[in-house]
């Protein structure tokens, strides 16, 4: 019987993943990845009910070093990283693979909504989008070939409603458990307070317009992200949004809504569908975790690519991921580094 290590979080997605894997004939070993603040009881109850082995593996130290600290430091630099995208290749999947290697399991699995395929011409493992309602390929775009070739996504092609229906039909105790919507290490969702606890309270500074004129005072650059419209506390005759965060000057630049960008530079790219591009190519691009994709021309450049969109788009935040798609296929993804506003 083929062994598989499953990340068992205690939520409905991983619970149904365990059920599906068992029905497919796998010997399932559940692993709860402990970050030091969550309780494994729900995961343990699911494992017991399904008759699969279960263990808790601490990832608190690795998570803090490779995700939590870089997350907080990036905010203090005026960037907006996505901790889940960073955690998947740096902490979560490596921990599952380590557990798999210990017991001689070939595969690891999670309850993510995405699909895996193989390119018959190149032999590369491909990451494919799930149905749009709950596709999570964006969050998995930094996974390497070494990781992807060992991954099973049992929920591939499924909708969330199907998953909950299956959980209820088999009497899984987490069938109606609400989804977690926040970052795991900031359960209350207060990013600013988390950063202040770690590094102290950053100083206030000036809101300025694109000409350097002072518009008001901000409460610390860690409280703002590029593209933000709400919570600025600035009274103007038109709606404003954050267009730039200057850490050196401790300034937050605001511009009128309607301004946009045509180009972004993307660095630290993880190519999935091929080694790396040697010529410009067309693709659709996600610049945030949403359903919206923008058609663009991707041009290889030094240490990254230049992305030229067909039309002006709402500005993304530096530090977020830009993910490139060809139809349902994920070509790769990297970190948004810089851009200029026009219009």
Distances (CA, A) of 98 to 111, 139, 229: 18, 21, 43
Q: Annotated catalytic residue: which of 68, 84, 87, 308?
A: 87
Q: Name residue 108's beta-bridge partners.
A: 5, 151
Q: Is 308 a catalytic residue?
A: no
Contact 334, 305 (CB under 8 A): yes
Answer whether 316's CB lies under 8 Å from 322's CB.
Answer: yes
Burial label, 259 (beta-carbon count in 10 A; 0-12, 13-18, 19+): middle
Kindly give the pairing relationship between strand 240-246 and strand 251-256.
antiparallel
68 is catalytic: no
Name 54's bridge partners: 30
1 vs 4, 26, 28, 105, 106, CA distance in Å? Answer: 10, 6, 10, 10, 11
Tell how far CA 104 is from the center of its chain: 29
Q: Residues 259, 328: contact at Cβ < 8 Å?
A: no
d(CA 265, CA 288): 15
Neighbours of 330 (CB within 10 A): 26
Catalytic option among 68, 84, 184, 308: 184
Asked whether 338 and 265 are in contact (CB, 8 A), the reply is yes
294-297: Cβ within 8 A, 24+ apart: none
SS (H, E, C) 292-319: CCEEEEEEEECCEEEEEEEEEECCCCCC
DSSP summary character for residue 37: S
User: How far, in Å, are 271, 282, 306 from residue 297 at the CA level?
Assistant: 16, 5, 8
Active site residues: 87, 184
């Amino acid at each position: 019987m083929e062994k598989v290590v499953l990340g068992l979080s205690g939520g409905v997605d991983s619970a149904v993943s365990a059920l599906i894997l068992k029905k497919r004939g796998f010997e399932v070993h559940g692993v709860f990845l402990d970050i030091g603040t969550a309780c494994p009881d729900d995961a343990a109850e699911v494992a017991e009910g399904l008759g699969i082995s279960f263990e808790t593996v601490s990832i608190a130290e690795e998570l803090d070093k490779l995700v939590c600290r870089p997350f907080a430091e990036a905010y203090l630099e005026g960037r907006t990283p996505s901790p889940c995208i960073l955690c998947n290749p740096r902490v979560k999947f490596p921990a599952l693979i380590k557990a798999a290697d210990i017991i001689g399991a070939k595969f690891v699995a999670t309850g993510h909504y995405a699909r895996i395929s193989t390119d018959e011409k190149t032999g590369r493992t491909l990451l494919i989008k799930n149905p749009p309602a709950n596709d999570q390929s964006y969050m998995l775009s930094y996974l390497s070939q070494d990781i992807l070739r060992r991954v099973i996504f049992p929920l591939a092609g499924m909708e969330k409603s199907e998953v909950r229906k299956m959980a209820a039909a088999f009497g899984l105790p987490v069938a109606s458990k609400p989804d977690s919507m926040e970052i795991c290490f900031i359960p209350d969702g207060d990013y600013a307070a988390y950063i202040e606890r770690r590094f102290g309270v950053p100083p206030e500074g000036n809101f300025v317009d694109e000409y350097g004129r002072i518009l008001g005072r901000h409460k610390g650059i860690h409280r703002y992200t590029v593209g933000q419209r709400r919570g600025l506390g600035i009274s103007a005759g038109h709606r404003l949004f954050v267009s730039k965060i200057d850490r050196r000057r401790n300034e937050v630049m605001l511009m009128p809504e309607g301004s946009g960008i045509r180009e972004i530079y993307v660095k630290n790219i993880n190519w999935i569908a091929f080694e790396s591009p040697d010529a410009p190519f067309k693709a659709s691009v996600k610049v945030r975790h949403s359903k919206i994709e923008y058609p663009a021309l991707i041009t290889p450049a030094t240490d990254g690519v230049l992305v030229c969109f067909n039309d002006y788009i709402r500005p993304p935040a530096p530090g977020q991921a830009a993910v490139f798609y060809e139809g349902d296929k994920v070509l790769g993804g990297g970190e948004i580094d810089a851009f200029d506003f026009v219009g």
